Each structure stands twice: as structure tokens, then as C-alpha cells.
């Protein structure tokens, strides 16, 4: 995936929002990644503010930051051989390996499914997405 580019903001309207959330569609893993989820004041630190009324955040600044744990409620959680798979209230799946959040989650979920002998394909023969695979593993491991 490309690490170049930037996200533009209208500096004149930043005072009207509480948070800035920047998402990226990861087509390789078929998931939506949260690159930034922070209050405006913290996001301004990353911005290049230009006198024209536009501010930008370079994508490369967002990709170098460590994986951040989301502050959402956990709906379901299972432990398996040093892994913890968590389903959050918004349906997102987080995977922890030795208590450290890993991203992207899908490769770890695939590996766990392989070790458990579970298919990573749906009924139509298409690969399960991260949420589907995570939910399947949680269901299987909770038994």
C-alpha cells in the first residue's frame, strides 16, 4: 500500500468538530483501518497549516504511529495459545499476541483458523472478511 499522499482539512471549519477520524480501505486485507481517531487539538499537532485556509496531514505521519487500542466496549473475547481475539461493540475485531495489539488482524486470524482446521472461505467460496473470520473463531473457541 502506498504511504504517500495527504489528507486536507478546511482550517476555517475545524472549530466545528470534536474529533478527527481518518480511515483507509485496505483492499489487500479487505478491511477498513483507522489511521487516526483523536480530538482536533491532538490532530492539529500533525497538521501542516497553510495560510490559504487549508491544513494537511501527511499519510506517512499516520502510518508510522504505533497501533493504538480503541476505547470501545468489548462484546466478546476468547483466549487461545497466547492469542486474545476481541470483538468490539462496533463489530471490529482486534487480535492481541502476548498482550500486544497486532495490526492488521486478518493474517493472525487466518493462521489460527488454519491451526484449528477451519475454512477461511464462505459458502460461495469467497474469503471471509476480518469481522466474519473473527466472529467465527470467537464462536468456535468459546465452546
Q: Rounded mean pLDDT of 115-128?
A: 92
Band (pLDDT 50/70/90 cuts) for residue 62 is confident
Element holding 40 (H helix, E strand): helix 40-46
* Same domain flag for 59 and 86: no
- Tell me how many domains the chain contains: 2
Give the CA dihedral 74, 22, 132, 79, nearest 10 degrees. -40
Q: Is the pTM of this model over 0.85?
A: no
* Same domain flag for 35 and 11: yes
Structural domain includes residue 137: yes
- How high does pLDDT run on average in the chain? 87
* Same domain flag for 58 and 84: no
Domain membership of residue 38 as a residue range = 6-63
- Span 68-92, pLDDT tens digits: 666 789 999 999 999 999 999 988 9
Band (pLDDT 50/70/90 cuts) for residue 3 is low
Structural domain includes residue 120: yes
- Quote the pLDDT of residue 1: 47
More confident residue, 63 or 78: 78
Instruction: Choose among 102, 80, 99, 103: nearest CA to 26.
Output: 103
Structural domain includes residue 24: yes
* Same domain flag for 100 and 51: no
Structural domain includes residue 1: no
Q: Rounded mean pLDDT of 129-142?
A: 94
- Quote the pLDDT of residue 2: 56
- Span 24-50, pLDDT tens digits: 888 777 778 888 899 998 888 888 877
Q: Do residues 59 and 3 touch, judged by C-beta distance below 8 A?
A: yes
Any idea which residue has 482550517 for its cell?
11
Q: Do residues 110 and 133 touch, judged by C-beta distance below 8 A?
A: yes
Q: Which of 63, 83, 108 is the last residue in one of the domains?
A: 63
Q: Which of 37, 63, 89 is the last residue in one of the domains?
A: 63
Structural domain includes residue 59: yes
* Same domain flag for 113 and 134: yes
Structural domain includes residue 134: yes
Amino acid at each position: 500500500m502506498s504511504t504517500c499522499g495527504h489528507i486536507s482539512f478546511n482550517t476555517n471549519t475545524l472549530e466545528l468538530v470534536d474529533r478527527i477520524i481518518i480511515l483507509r480501505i485496505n483492499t489487500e486485507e479487505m478491511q477498513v483501518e483507522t489511521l487516526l481517531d483523536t480530538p482536533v487539538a491532538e490532530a492539529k499537532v500533525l497538521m501542516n497549516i497553510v495560510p490559504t485556509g487549508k491544513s494537511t496531514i501527511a499519510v506517512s505521519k499516520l502510518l508510522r504511529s504505533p497501533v493504538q487500542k480503541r476505547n470501545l466496549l468489548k462484546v466478546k473475547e476468547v483466549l487461545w495459545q497466547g492469542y486474545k481475539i476481541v470483538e468490539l461493540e462496533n463489530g471490529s475485531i482486534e487480535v492481541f499476541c502476548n498482550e500486544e495489539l497486532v495490526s492488521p488482524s486478518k493474517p493472525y486470524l487466518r493462521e489460527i483458523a488454519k491451526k484449528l482446521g477451519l475454512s477461511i472461505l464462505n459458502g460461495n467460496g469467497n474469503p471471509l472478511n476480518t469481522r466474519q473470520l473473527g466472529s467465527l473463531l470467537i464462536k468456535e473457541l468459546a465452546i
